Amino acid sequence: MNVEKALLSRKSTRAFLDKEVPVEIINNILEQAKTAPSGVNTQPWQVAVITGESKKNIEKKMEDTFRSGNKGSMDYQYYPKEWEEKYKQRRKDCGLLMYSTLEIQREDKQRQLDQWASNYRAFDAPVMLLFFIDNVMEKGSYLDYGMFLQSIMLAAVAEGLATCPQAALAEYPEIVKSELGYSDGQVLVCGMSLGYEDKSHKVNSYRTTREPLEEIVKYFS
C-alpha cells in the first residue's frame, strides 16, 4: 500500500469486529511508528497496550465514572476554552453527521449518552492504546507525538486494521494511572482504539469533510 492510499483510507472507526489482533502485528505497527521524527531525537512517547481483562477492568471504571455524572479532567487543556466560530461550526457539523447517520434524534438524550459512553470502551475494539509523556516535556514534544500517532494509524491501515484516536480516553487520568501504575509525573496524552473495522455498522459509513486547499494554504513566491 502506498502512502497516498493509506492517508485517504484512514478514518476514525467507531465499531469493530470481535476479532483479536495478534501481538506480533501490534509490535510491527509500533516498530514502524517509532521511526517518527522528534526534536533532537527525544522520542517522548510511552505506550500502554491494553487488551483482555485489563481492558475490561479499566473501561468499566471509566464508563461507570462517566455515567455517574463525573465528566473527568484531562492532564492538560486539549480544546480551547472559548471557541472561535469557524472551529465551533466544524465541531457541530462533526457531531451532527455522526448522530444523523445513527438516526439519533436531538431529543434522545439517552441514546446520545450511550453513544458517548462507548468512547470509554474504545468502541469495543479489541485493543486500547494509551499514550503518555513525561510532564517535563513542552509543547514541541506534543508536535512530535502527533507525528508518532499518525504513523501508528497509517501503519495500522497497511496491516488491514482500523483506528480511532481519542481524547476521551484521557479524560480520567487518575483512574488510568492508578490501574496501570503510571505516576503523576506522566501526562496521559490521549488514547486510540485499534482493531478490525465492522464495515456493516452504520457508524462507520460516514466521512467527515476537509476544508478546500485554498482555505488553508497560501503560496508566496
Q: How many CB atoms lie within 10 A of CB 129?
A: 26
Q: For residue 216, is it within any domain?
A: no
Sign of CA dihedral 161, 167, 171, 175: positive
* Beta strand ranges found along 51-175 (DSSP E): 127-134, 162-166
Give the domain extent around 192.
3-204
Contacts of 121 (CB under 8 A, 6+ apart): 59, 63
Round to whole Å and give the CA distance between 171 and 96: 22
**Average pLDDT score over residue span 177-182:** 97
> Residue 146 is part of a domain; what is its CATH number?
3.40.109.10
Q: For residue 213, is it within any domain?
A: no
Number of domains in the chain: 1
Q: For residue 18, is it within any domain?
A: yes
Question: Helix, strand or coil for residue 140?
Answer: helix
**Average pLDDT score over residue span 76-100:** 96
Q: For residue 209, is it within any domain?
A: no
Q: Cα dist. 71→63, 126, 165 in Å?
A: 10, 24, 19
Residue 163 scores a pLDDT above 90: yes
Q: For residue 217, is it within any domain?
A: no
Residue 8 scores a pLDDT above 90: yes
Q: For residue 210, is it within any domain?
A: no
Q: Are 101 and 206 in contact (CB under 8 A)?
A: yes
Task: Tell me the pLDDT of the chain averaged across its residues.
Answer: 97
pLDDT bracket for residue 1 (50, 70, 90):
confident
What's the pLDDT score for residue 158? 97
Classify residue 6 as exposed, middle or buried by CB count within 10 Å of its CB (0-12, 13-18, 19+).
middle
**Average pLDDT score over residue span 85-104:** 95
**Average pLDDT score over residue span 8-37:** 98
Round to whole Å and give the CA distance between 162 and 51: 16
Q: For residue 109, is it within any domain?
A: yes
**Average pLDDT score over residue span 84-113:** 95
What's the pLDDT score for residue 143? 98
- Of the chain, the percentage scoring pLDDT greater than 70 comes to 100
Q: Are 167 and 144 in contact (CB under 8 A)?
A: no
Q: For residue 182, is it within any domain?
A: yes
Residue 124 scores a pLDDT above 90: yes
14 grid coordinates? 467507531
* Digit-coded pLDDT (tens) for 48-64: 999 999 999 999 999 99
